[in-house]
């Protein structure tokens, strides 16, 4: 049985990762102090997807400090002394869960003795979670790649914040509902633009298996050169298998990821071209980290919009040049005008 929930996620993590987040000030830290002095809840979030969720639900009543910034792989995260101090300074800590954060579990266990520590995925129905063969005993943590599933985490955040600031509970719930409505529109956009790719070319090959939920949600065959964790090494046999698949299905593009070395994808492209098939790197996708702070891709909506639009366009689909921001669903058909 796979691990699930905040307690089991803490106790079951036995991961040997050694590369950490950069030290220094957390990305996106708001210039406010804790709730005890200003009435604003000081929330700490491990990764960008979680931080953005908390910001949207918390609104003006929450200041969010994010530990892992743009381009940082949370699978390889190791907390620094400054990170621990930041976590200890908050009123509440939010993390993704399902073993995404690796070695952070020891720190989170200690912090949970004195303040709320919440896994935003902890209340997701197990029927929504994937358990790939190469990650036996644990769920795939990349839930945010399915916008519809990730949107359900907004209610977990709203309930946790309401416990700290009950006077604002109604506002947190309203923010969560509004955000979920926008995410549902993004989900529909994703189904349409990925569905516009010719069926034989709906093959998404990336650096590692971060897109399994994406594939299930939007109807595309996902293949990673590496496994779920970026610590695994891609073998020559796997490269050759993917070369054969790309040539057979006449796929025109593969993709690199912002937080993973591109070397395996570059080897894949070289192998395909040696077979006389034209293929290109269709662009950089965001998998375990969002874009830079202050950019559109530095938001969860921007991150997924970028991925959906880039994949559709590179594989021969019909996504608008402006992506989700340009897309207008028809009231009559539910399709883009």
pLDDT in tens, 79-122: 788 999 999 999 999 999 998 887 788 888 889 999 999 999 99
Q: Does residue 279 fall inside a structural domain?
A: yes
- 293 with 227, same domain? yes
pLDDT of residue 3: 40
**Residue-range definition of the domain harbouring residue 269:** 188-325
- 174 with 293, same domain? no
Handedness of CA 53, 98, 111, 105 (dihedral sign): negative
Residue 311 near residue 203 (C-beta atoms within 8 A): no
pLDDT of residue 287: 87
pLDDT in tens, 137-190: 789 999 999 999 999 999 999 999 999 999 999 999 999 999 999 999 999 999
At CA 238, angle to CA 202 and CA 312, rounded to 5? 20
The candidate with the shortest Cα–Cα distance to 27, out of 43, 54, 51, 55, is: 51
Q: Does residue 58 fall inside a structural domain?
A: yes
Q: In angstroms, rounded to a whole number, what is the distance separating the alpha carbons of residues 209 and 145?
A: 11
Q: Does residue 331 fall inside a structural domain?
A: no
- 23 with 172, same domain? yes
- 225 with 290, same domain? yes
Domain boundary among 139, 154, 187: 187
Total number of domains in the chain: 2
Instruction: Enter the pTM of the model.
Output: 0.82
Which of the residues in the chain have pLDDT under 50? 1-37, 228-232, 331-337
Domain boundary among 155, 187, 219: 187
Residue 36 near residue 256 (C-beta atoms within 8 A): no
Q: Does residue 330 fall inside a structural domain?
A: no
- 140 with 244, same domain? no
| Contacts by 130-133, CB closer than 8 A, 24 or more apart | 130/212, 130/213, 130/216, 131/2, 132/209, 132/212, 132/228
Written as six digits, the tokens of 240 are 């050759």
- 39 with 156, same domain? yes
Q: What would the DSSP string read from start to end of 145-209?
A: GSHHHHHTHHHHHHHHHHHH-GGGHHHHHHHHHHHHHHHHHHHHHHHHHHHTS-GGG-EEEESSS
Q: Does residue 332 fall inside a structural domain?
A: no
Domain boundary among 169, 187, 205: 187
pLDDT of residue 136: 65
Q: Does residue 1 fall inside a structural domain?
A: no
Handedness of CA 32, 36, 39, 41 (dihedral sign): positive
pLDDT of residue 208: 67
**Assign residue 99 a region: left if phi > 0, alpha if psi is -120 to 50, beta otherwise?**
left
- 251 with 320, same domain? yes
Q: Does residue 139 fall inside a structural domain?
A: yes
- 118 with 228, same domain? no
- 183 with 296, same domain? no
The CATH code of the domain that includes 243 is 3.40.50.1980
- 112 with 219, same domain? no
pLDDT of residue 132: 80
Q: Does residue 153 fall inside a structural domain?
A: yes
pLDDT of residue 209: 77
- 10 with 159, same domain? yes
The candidate with the shortest Cα–Cα distance to 311, out of 186, 214, 239, 176, is: 214
- 214 with 165, same domain? no
């Amino acid at each position: 049985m796979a691990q699930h929930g905040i307690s089991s996620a803490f106790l079951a993590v036995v991961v040997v990762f050694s590369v950490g987040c950069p030290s220094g000030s957390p990305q996106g830290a708001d210039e406010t102090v804790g709730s005890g002095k200003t009435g604003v809840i000081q929330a700490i979030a491990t990764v960008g997807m979680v931080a953005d969720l908390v910001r949207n639900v918390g609104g003006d009543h929450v200041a969010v400090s994010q530990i892992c910034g743009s381009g940082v792989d949370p699978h390889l995260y190791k907390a620094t002394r400054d990170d621990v101090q930041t976590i200890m300074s908050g009123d509440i800590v939010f993390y993704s869960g399902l073993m995404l954060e690796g070695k952070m579990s020891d720190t989170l266990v200690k912090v949970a003795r004195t303040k709320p520590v919440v896994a935003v995925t902890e209340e997701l129905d197990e029927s929504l979670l994937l358990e790939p063969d190469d990650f036996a005993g644990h769920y795939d943590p990349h839930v945010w790649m399915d916008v519809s599933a990730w949107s359900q985490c907004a209610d977990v955040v709203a309930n946790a914040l309401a416990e700290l600031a009950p006077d604002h509970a109604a506002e947190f719930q309203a923010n969560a509902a509004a955000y979920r409505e926008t995410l549902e529109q993004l989900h529909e956009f994703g189904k349409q633009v990925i569905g516009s790719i010719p069926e034989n070319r709906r093959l998404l090959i990336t650096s590692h298996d971060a897109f399994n939920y994406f594939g299930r949600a939007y109807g595309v065959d996902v293949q990673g050169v590496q496994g779920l964790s970026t610590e695994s090494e891609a073998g020559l046999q796997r490269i050759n298998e993917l070369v054969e698949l790309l040539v057979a299905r006449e796929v025109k593009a593969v993709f690199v990821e912002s937080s993973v070395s591109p070397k395996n994808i570059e080897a894949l492209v070289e192998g395909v071209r040696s077979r006389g098939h034209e293929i290109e790197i269709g662009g950089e996708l965001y998998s375990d980290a969002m874009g830079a702070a202050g950019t559109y891709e530095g938001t969860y909506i921007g991150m997924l919009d970028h991925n959906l639009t880039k994949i559709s366009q590179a594989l021969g689909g019909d996504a608008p040049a402006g992506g989700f921001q340009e897309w207008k669903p028809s009231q009559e058909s539910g399709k883009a005008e």
